[in-house]
Amino acid sequence: MSSKNKPLTDKELAALETDRDLAAELLEAVQQMKAGQVRVALSPVIEVCRETGLTRDC
């Protein structure tokens, strides 16, 4: 994909999905989470909600 703003065409998406090993990707993600290698980025809105105790409304 040449631009981050340009979505993939159906043909490009199909080609990308053909070569994916989803099971391996999921296993790697779980291993990274267990090892603490994954960071969660929260939006400023969610951060404010948590700070103010309004988590049920956000």
Tally of domains in the chain: 1
- First-to-last CA distance in the chain? 34
Return mean pLDDT, the chain: 85
Residue-range definition of the domain harbouring residue 46? 10-52
Share of the chain above pLDDT 70, in %: 86
Q: Would 34 be classed as within a structural domain?
A: yes
C-alpha to C-alpha distance for 1 and 13, rounded to whole angstroms: 10
C-alpha to C-alpha distance for 44 and 47, rounded to whole angstroms: 5
Q: Would 40 be classed as within a structural domain?
A: yes
Share of the chain above pLDDT 90, in %: 43
Q: Quote the pTM value.
A: 0.47
Q: For 17-41, how does the pLDDT look when each residue is reduced to its tens digit (9 = 90+)?
A: 998 999 999 999 999 989 988 888 8
Q: Would 3 be classed as within a structural domain?
A: no
Q: Would 58 be classed as within a structural domain?
A: no
Q: Would 27 be classed as within a structural domain?
A: yes
